Chain A
Amino acid sequence: MENILSVRGLTVDIPLAAGTLHAVRGIDFDVKRGETLCVVGESGSGKSLTSLAIMGLLPKQVQRSARVLDFEGVDLQTASNRDMRKLRGNRISMIFQEPMTSLNPAYTIGDQLTEALLLHRKVPKPVARDRAIELLEKVGITAAANRMKQYPHQLSGGLRQRVMIAMALMGEPDLIIADEPTTALDVTIQAQILRLLKDLQRELNMAMILITHDLGVVARVADKVAIMYAGEMVEAGSAAEVFTAPKHPYTRGLLNCIPVPGKTAVGEHLGSIPGIVPSLIGDVAGCAFRSRCDEATAQCASDIPARISPAGHLYRCVHDYDMNQPKSGEA
């Protein structure tokens, strides 16, 4: 399968009064059709900026550059505004984090659902309407025809997020970028929405980039995982690989934070990673995680090359680490 989206060396810089904030520092990834890439990281690690950079929706003062930013043969860096508008909502669509503010209060659900389709394709209104109702039913909304006439404030958070998903699917996109689509929802709804997204993705054979900070979500839906820390992709590979044989200490730290039913005893402390994310203003050298890392050595302050693990996933750490022989071999 060929890649739908290829990204090489993507950087996002934000000029601030105090200096340049290197929010995303040279990340590489590919997404294929029918594949789900989960981008995981804590707040401020550059996840959302990465998604906005792909869509070309960064605020004006923010600078984006990349060696390769290719969407099915279209170079997103040189594409004109007009071409980008044709892609957005049509071939690449986005699901936003906040279902409460992502719908325009002045329009009915029906108007907002059909907007993208009417904008990009010359379809008659009734056709767009039928498609919207069909999608609303597909995302599990009952009495869809009646819901079309409702305003966003009449819907609950879960329903709105479903509407957002239906809206993203209207144009039958090739790539869907979901920026923390379940963060604002309660846990039972989260599970439903995720299953729904995953099912729809399989059914429509789309590529999906799911941005999240919830490793539970990742374990459930991801084919590939990319762990981001301080604007860098510290580890990336197939989900099974990253979960069973994490190479980067940060990934291990994250995995330690999750309670595992049956394994974690009641009352036992969950793992945590001490310290905070370093400032990314000015030049950042070496491993950004070294100030919080137990295994940090002098070597960590120099440039960290990307390495490939024996099993074939990428990581950025100077240490060799094997889950099966913990700590013993290290100095």
Chain B
Amino acid sequence: MTNTTETINTVAPKVEAEVLSGPTPRQVLLTKVLGHKGLMFGAIVLLTIFLMALFAPLLAPYDPYHQDLMHRMIPPVWDAKGSWENILGTDHLGRDYLSRLLYGARISLAIGAIAALISGIIGTSMGVAAGYFGGRVDACVTFLINVRLAMPVVLVALAVVALFGGSLQVVITVLGLLLWDRFAVVMRSATLQLRSMEYVTAAKAIGCSTKRILFSEIMPNIANSLIVIVTLEMAHAILLEAALSFLGLGVQPPTPSWGLMVSEGKQMLLFQPWMIAIPGVALFILVLAINLLGDGLRDVSAPENRN
């Protein structure tokens, strides 16, 4: 008798432990992330560009501001007239194109990240407040979203730059203050859905304050959609900066910016097409990488893909 009970007792916890030692959610997520080709491609490219921007002073062969009028518009190395001294050639003032491209990545990434951060904070707080409190707050936020959607970003940016003059700070601020609409819309509907969940009531029932409910019950559950929008808005901000700089309303010369490089190369469009192609391709790859990353994150974090 004693023997049998003992065997039963020793066997039972083992079975239990096996059931419990399956892959943790983190491991499951990691496998999914590593298996998603688009996400991995986007992440690796973005990381490469980020590292290149970070270590630009070490990587750049020349000072991006150094002009050398004797060596203007040297084509890149693959051209018959190109040389290894300026791998990507030089621009109309003889500045090394590769160095300017590397430093330009800093501008693009900084604008993307900071503008997305500012608009993320504005849009998320507005959206979450509207979704959670409803009523008058919601009506007010919805009105503001509509007002914002009625404003053409480029025209507003043009007006602001005309008033305050173009500079990196102005561009970042303008984009940060204009791109919050999508954050607000998505966060509002996500919060609206969560507000009626019983665990929110349960949190109130154990005595959580409103602040605590918003930050520790609602926020973690909307974080996945937030990350996706952050990436999309980053791409959006980078493209807008390039467009504004191209129009001469954004970052002012001689700061190296990809949009500005396209703008400066446009006079030579027919004779030196690589002057536009190189920063254009760089922009394309950066935005593509960010979008792929965002799409991948959405796929991985979508509830229907959770097993």
Contacts and interface: CB of A to CB of B under 8 A. Distances in A.
Interface in B178-206: 197-199, 201-206
Given A143-B16, A147-B20, A104 B205 contact: no
Contacts of A328: none
Interface string A204-234: 0000000000000000000000000000000
Interface string A73-117: 000000000001111111001101110011111110000000110
Contacts of A151: 25
B306 A119 contact: no
- Which of A86, A89, A106 has the largest count of B CB atoms less than 10 A from its CB? A106
B221 interface: yes
A142 interface: yes
B20 A103 contact: no
B254 interface: no
B20 A146 contact: yes
Contacts of B16: 142-143, 146
Contacts of A143: 13, 16-17, 20
B152 interface: no
B202 A102 contact: yes
B207 A57 contact: no
Interface in A306-330: none
A89 B221 contact: no
Contacts of B208: 85, 89, 115, 119
Given A106-B220, A107-B220, A143-B17, A88 B207 contact: yes
A116 B306 CA distance: 28
Interface in B209-234: 209, 212, 217, 220-221, 223
B198 A87 contact: no
B54 to A, nearest CB: 32
Contact of B207 (A89, A101, A107): A89
Contact of B206 (A116, A147, A150): A116
A55 interface: yes
A202 interface: no
B17 A167 contact: no
A187 B76 CA distance: 77
A290 interface: no
A116 B201 CA distance: 13
Nearest to A97: B198
Nearest to B208: A119
A89 B199 contact: no
A119 B198 contact: no
Contacts of B135: 60
Nearest to B12: A142
Nearest to B24: A149
Contacts of B201: 57, 96
Contacts of B221: 104-106
Contacts of A98: 198
A64 interface: no
A249 to B, nearest CB: 35
Query: Secondary structure at chain B's binding surface: helix, strand, loop or mixed?
Result: helix
A254 B256 CA distance: 81
A292 interface: no
A208 B24 CA distance: 37
A260 B286 CA distance: 73
A90 B207 contact: yes
Given A143-B16, A146-B17, A85 B202 contact: no
A101 B220 contact: no
Given A94-B202, A102-B198, A86 B20 contact: no
B206 A101 contact: no
Contacts of A146: 16-17, 20-21
A32 interface: no
A93 B206 contact: yes
A55 B12 CA distance: 41
A101 B194 CA distance: 10
Given A101-B199, A102-B198, A88 B220 contact: no
Interface string B266-307: 000000000000000000000000000000000000000010
A153 interface: yes
Interface string B126-160: 00000000010000000000000000000000000
A115 to B, nearest CB: 7
B26 to A, nearest CB: 10
Interface string A104-137: 1111000000011001100000000000000000
Contacts of B207: 84-90, 116, 119-120
Interface string B1-22: 0000000000011001100110
Given A104-B217, A104-B221, A106-B221, A119 B20 contact: no
Given A101-B197, A106-B221, A55 B20 contact: no
A82 B51 CA distance: 49
A55 B205 contact: yes
Interface of B: 12-13, 16-17, 20-21, 24-25, 135, 197-199, 201-209, 212, 217, 220-221, 223, 306
| Smallest CB-CB A-B distances: 9 pairs | A89-B206, A106-B220, A88-B207, A116-B206, A85-B207, A89-B207, A94-B205, A146-B20, A102-B198
15 contacts: A55-B205, A57-B205, A85-B207, A87-B207, A88-B206, A88-B207, A89-B206, A90-B207, A98-B198, A104-B203, A106-B220, A115-B206, A119-B212, A143-B13, A146-B17
